[in-house]
Amino acid sequence: MEVRKVAVIGAGLMGHGIAQVAAQVAKFEVSLRDVKQEFLDNGMSMINGSLQRFLKKGTMTENEVKEVLGRIHPTLDLKEAVADADLIIEAVPEIPKLKKDTLSEVDKLAKPEAILASNTSSISITELASATNRPEKFCGMHFFNPPQLMKLIEIIRGAKTSDETINAIVEVTKKMDKEPVVVKKDCAGFIVNRILVPALNEAISLVWEGIADPKDIDTAIKLGLNWPMGPITLVDYLGLDTTLSISEVLRDDLDPKYSPCPLLRQMVRAGLLGRKTGKGFYDWTQR
């Protein structure tokens, strides 16, 4: 099946970026759905801000910006968003029950041949697929933040995902000018987060144990391992709450060795979630 129309469910941090890439690069018609008008307005404003930056750099024209915005259709109506979509990408917050409830509703409203994909960063694809009546047409499609710039998409096979579904999503990924990697077996954390999150947790433990300051840890990893961004800065960008929830999924699904550092839990309880709240390990309010 050829994908022409895409619906993105959730206009937040990831959803708005996925919708932009689908409309801007792959030139799909895109429905962007959220539960409140303010969330939609905020998502559209972030898309516009990103397009204006491309315009300033000279990589897009005024006309191209208008065309991209013309291909994105924000709506509060789930039925309207998914009714004629060939691919529906769920990008709601990383809460298993919320994702399953959303996917179950989407499944009932979408056409039978539509493919459903979740942008989850850690939750079992097989578990999410079980909320639908089309597990063979369900897979993970994990974008990286920000989707407008990051080249990778992890495509995750659930226990019942068909080869046809995986192949269709590989094609969509290429149309978006992204690099697909296929995760052959459903496993918590997939490839990137299974390696990254324990490393971030270890960096937080160095702060917790008073071994080094966040700035020095970041400098050491940037210069010693050639990371483009230090692990503590990266945690602030990703969100401490997101990092904590992925750690907990890895711990529960794989091994107690993935248990989150007490400092991470403490900071989440204190609402110090990183860049999105203005403060995490660093103060972002002055930047």
16 catalytic per annotation: no
142 catalytic per annotation: yes
- Give the list of residues 6+ apart from residue 139 with CB closer than 8 angstroms, or none: 115, 117, 118, 125, 155, 156, 157, 158, 161, 165, 166, 169
- Out of 31, 122, 142, 247, pick the active-site residue: 142
73 catalytic per annotation: no
- Out of 50, 193, 201, 245, pick the active-site residue: 193
Instruction: Please report, to the nearest 10 degrees, the dihedral formed by the alpha carbons of residues 137, 140, 43, 145 taken in order.
Output: -160
154 catalytic per annotation: yes
Q: Which position has the token pair 């056409």?
A: 111
Q: What is the number of helices (H) and of strands (E) in the chain?
A: 12, 8
- Out of 119, 124, 154, 201, pick the active-site residue: 154
- Out of 50, 118, 119, 121, pick the active-site residue: 121
- Which residues on adjacent β-strands are paired with residue 31? 7, 73
- Give the list of residues 6+ apart from residue 29 with CB closer than 8 angstroms, or none: 4, 5, 6, 23, 71, 73
Residue 269, CB half-sphere, CA atoms under 13 Å: how many?
5
Q: Are 1 and 168 in contact (CB under 8 A)?
A: yes
Q: Which residue numbers are catalytic?
A: 121, 142, 154, 193
